[in-house]
Amino acid sequence: MSGKPKIAVYKLSSCAGCQLEFLNLEPVLLDVVGALDISYFVMAKRDNAPGPYDIGFVEGAVTCGEEIAKLKAARRDCKTLVALGSCACFGGLPSIKNWEPQREVEARVYSELWAIHSTKAYGIDQYVPVDAYLRGCPIDKGELVELIKNCLLGAAPAWRFPAVCTECKIKENVCLLIYENKPCMGPVTAAGCGALCPTYGKPCEGCRGPAHDANAPSLARIFGDLGLNAADVTRYFRKYAGTTPAFQEGAEAL
């Protein structure tokens, strides 16, 4: 990439937590700003430049027609399009509603139903081709920086997505599944967060979606052995990434 790459950050249906991580880059922010031209970032600045951009980061799941149009425009405007966070990758938390009748969900959230035309919540690759994915709820800052560096180098990041357990073991955490009988999604969830939750004593909730070649049905059976009923197990697998084939298998295993 010649010159400073132009960056755009878009928001669809999301909590803005991932954009916040962008701003939280504090210690490296200066370096990033030095290397990048942040052209469009509504949450961070007032004067936003029009496209085209080199790298576009899209935060949030797609949940309605207007968002599909916004997303397609982003795709047109950006050379490289990145799904920023689990919502944009595979629906994330908003996708919990996908398995309940649509009108019921809407009725619970909105009072004036006629204005709402929401679709199921999907990741952005349901509608446009995506070049890179930053998983996590929220994203991992280290991975964001890594992606930016690779864009500057013109290379695809050499990422691997084994189970969170691999990072958890390296931290030498006392395993919550084994020692505490707590349902931990670590064995089927993609590493990259540094086993954040287990390190703080909380079971992994699967926010980064499935690890490569995850065996979700086996973990579902293990959860069953811990005493969880089928409906609970299904909820675990649908919390963030129920739209992915791997977690869908887990959700339907018992």
**Residue 176: how many CA atoms within 13 Å on its side-chain side?**
21
- Give the separation between CA 206 and CA 235, rounded to whole angstroms: 11
Q: Which of ligand SF4, other proteins, none does residue 188 bind to, with CB < 5 to 8 Å depending on kind? A: other proteins
CB 68 within 8 A of CB 126: no
Longest Cα separation, the chain: 57
- Which of 187, 192, 198, 242 is the binder for other proteins (CB under 8 A)? 187
Residue choice 75, 120, 149, 182 for contact with other proteins (CB under 8 A): 149
Q: Please enumerate in sequence order all residues whose Cβ is within 8 A of that of 127, keeping only pairs 6 or more positions apart, or say none.
A: 62, 68, 71, 72
The binding track of 210-239 with respect to other proteins, each residue x by CB under 8 A or -, is -xxxxx-xxx-xx-----------------
Select from 15, 20, 32, 254 the one that contacts other proteins (CB under 8 A). 32
Nearer to other proteins, 43 or 156 (CB): 156
List binders of ligand SF4 among 136-155 (CB under 6 A): 136
238 part of the interface to ligand SF4, by CB under 6 A: no
# binding residues, ligand SF4 (CB under 6 A)? 23
Cβ closest to other proteins, residue 35 vs residue 116:
35
Alpha helices in 39-195 (DSSP H): 65-77, 86-90, 102-109, 141-153, 164-170, 176-180
